[in-house]
Amino acid sequence: MARGGKRKGAGRPKGTGKFGEPTKAIRLPISMIGRIMNFIEQKGLCFPIYSDKVQAGFPSPSDDTPAEKLDLGAYLVQNPASTFFVKVAGESMIGAGIFPDDLLIVDRSITASNGDVVVASVDGEFTVKRLFISQRKVELRPENKKFSAISFKDESELNIWGVVKNVIHRV
């Protein structure tokens, strides 16, 4: 008598489970099961997005039916393997809409260009500034007149950690 293994006709027919499609058994850390199940039940981090735009000026009539679902992860993060989040301290970038305690979404896979807002390490200390590159010099400039630009000389060490792609700001 055969025991174990795959048996013809055994198990639930494919596509008839909770998700209506074939599934695959995987091993998960026990500590992650709750978060993963929540993600699955919500069908990702998707939220309703309306086709009408909200007026920041004179009010206009609006349709209250969501047009589609918005996956925040896909919207905010283009390269998940090279993206990190960091909280802001200080007020040197308020002119760029970056305030203390804001959350920056930073992509390390993007090569920084002139004018990009970057997270950089200057002599081992981290800062967020706007990058300016000319033939004569490289500068990290704040977006607040109370602060000075950081100009680079031969003895200073500058490492660009990533380009800021999005800012999450609480109202």
- If phi > 0 it is left, if psi is from -120 to 50 it is alpha, else beta; for residue 102 that is beta
Q: Which member of 51, 129, 148, 156 is catalytic?
A: 129
Q: Which member of 24, 51, 60, 92 is catalytic?
A: 92
Task: Give DSSP secondary structure letters for 34-92.
Answer: HHHHHHHHTTTTEEEEESSPPPSSS------SEEEEEEHHHHH-S-GGGEEEEE--SST
Compute the distance between CA of residue 111 and CA of residue 160 in angstroms, rounded to an integer: 9
Q: How far is CA 19 from CA 10, 41, 137, 151, in A?
A: 19, 10, 57, 56
- Catalytic (active site) residue 113: no
- Catalytic (active site) residue 92: yes
Q: Which amino acid is at 63?
A: D
Active site members: 92, 129
